[in-house]
Amino acid sequence: MRELVELARDRAESLVADTVRLVSVESPSPDPEASRASAEAVAALLRERLGADVATQEIDGHVHVRATWGEPRVLLLCHHDTVWPAGTLARFPVVDDGETLRGPGTVDMKAGIAVAVHALAILREQGGDAALDGVDLLITADEELGSPTSRAIIEASTAKAALVFEAAAHGGEVKTARKGVSIYRLEVVGRAAHAGVEPEQGVNAAVALAHAILATTSLGDAAAGTSVTPTVLQAGTTTNTVPASAWVSIDVRAWTEAEQVRVDDAIRALESPLEGARLVVHGGINRPPLERAMAVDLYTTTAAVAAELGFPPLQEAAVGGGSDGNFTAGAGIPTLDGLGPWGGGAHAEHEHAVRAALPQRTALVAGLLRRLLG
């Protein structure tokens, strides 16, 4: 097992080069042209490093990439889309300072793709394609949007385990729990009137929205880790008109499915205390939670592999953000997340991956795959 560490260290510069190669092809989620270009870059990397027979699938402008060896037993789950708009690299270029690799999409999650590919390449070098029998590598293109076109593909997996290559926690911890995510748009329908001449003839949607916001925020439960957060809102059209419409976006996070359902039921049951105002609820539960019970066995196995490789004890973390691992766990597939390198600044202009984390994570994943594939 220890030889995997040296094999991964020998690949350190290639890991960095392949991460830079992927980051250099911008891939904002909503841009079909960018998605196609990024998917081709990913597919070219898989062909070059793994000799893979690569399949691509475009759905509503999102191009997903897949390579499978035999009957799938272990799903390796990545995404190649980012939150960064086209043109970002012109002002936020990739910088390798010897300790960190900085740039848009480095840690979220193109370095994770490089880790997955090189871990597979190590196994293939040692045992040929037979060493990859049972691997299903899926790299999606719309994770940052909530996976609207890839969710069904992910949930249809027949694998017995899912490994997700989102970034590790800041100390290198793998992620054994993620909150479930619900997204709502709460709309208020009122009635317009002149604000100076006959305001009493109107039904003020802004006032009704204020009541609704207070009602929804009261649904949060800090002790249970459930947050209900109004984010973006809008009301009215002109300064001298009683608003006839208003809306607010609401972000809900919860550790358990039961909490998601409780909040969902309560939001759908809301009624406005303002006579004549009507509430309309759009959206709902988006990602089920990744509960620790779905990760603990894989975590235990991974921690044992880390010890065999001579790494420090592998720690775990629970985080509030969602990933595609929420879907695999919700589909009943044991799931371990955070297998990408650690770093920081995801979605921010200090985004970076720690250089030394790339070979370490590659060795860990190669060892874990060797164990899971038997």
Q: Which phi and psi angles does 271 have, rounded to 5°?
A: -130, 145
Question: Euclidean distance between the first and final Cα of the chain, in Å?
Answer: 13
Q: Are residues 299 and 346 in the same domain?
A: yes
Quick check: helix, strand or coil at residue 344? strand
Q: Are 75 and 159 in contact (CB under 8 A)?
A: yes
Domain boundary among 287, 310, 341: 287
d(C-alpha 26, C-alpha 81), whole Å: 8
Q: Are residues 80 and 217 in the same domain?
A: no
Q: Are residues 18 and 160 in the same domain?
A: yes
Q: Are residues 174 and 186 in the same domain?
A: no
The CATH number of residue 230's host domain is: 3.30.70.360
Count of Cβ atoms closer than 10 Å to residue 259 Cβ: 22
Q: Are residues 365 and 299 in the same domain?
A: yes
Separation of CA 114 from chain center = 17
Please write the tens of the pLDDT for every residue from 33-76.
Answer: 999 999 999 999 999 999 999 999 999 999 999 999 999 999 99
Domain boundary among 287, 321, 348: 287
Instruction: Show the domain range for 356.
Output: 3-179+289-373
Q: How many helices, marked H, and strands, marked E, lie in the chain?
A: 11, 18
- Burial 20-32, CB ≥16 within 10 A → b, else e: bbbbebbbbbebe
- Cα–Cα distances (Å) from 146 to 95, 319, 330, in that order, read 29, 17, 15
Q: What pLDDT, on the 0 to 100 scale, is given for residue 116?
A: 98
Q: What pLDDT, on the 0 to 100 scale, is given for residue 374?
A: 87
Q: Are residues 169 and 310 in the same domain?
A: yes
Q: Are residues 302 and 270 in the same domain?
A: no
Residuewise pLDDT in 10s, the chain (374 residues): 889 999 999 999 999 999 999 999 999 999 999 999 999 999 999 999 999 999 999 999 999 999 999 999 999 999 999 999 999 999 999 999 999 999 999 999 999 999 999 999 999 999 999 999 999 999 999 999 999 999 999 999 999 999 999 999 999 999 999 999 999 999 999 999 999 999 999 999 999 999 999 999 999 999 999 999 999 999 999 999 999 999 999 999 999 999 999 999 999 999 999 999 999 999 999 999 999 999 999 999 999 999 999 999 999 999 999 999 999 999 999 999 999 999 999 999 999 999 999 999 999 999 999 999 98
Q: Are residues 104 and 162 in the same domain?
A: yes
Q: Are residues 327 and 195 in the same domain?
A: no
Q: How many domains does the chain have?
A: 2
Domain boundary among 287, 311, 329: 287
Q: What pLDDT, on the 0 to 100 scale, is given for residue 9?
A: 98
The CATH number of residue 149's host domain is: 3.40.630.10
Q: What pLDDT, on the 0 to 100 scale, is given for residue 2?
A: 86
Q: What pLDDT, on the 0 to 100 scale, is given for residue 190?
A: 98
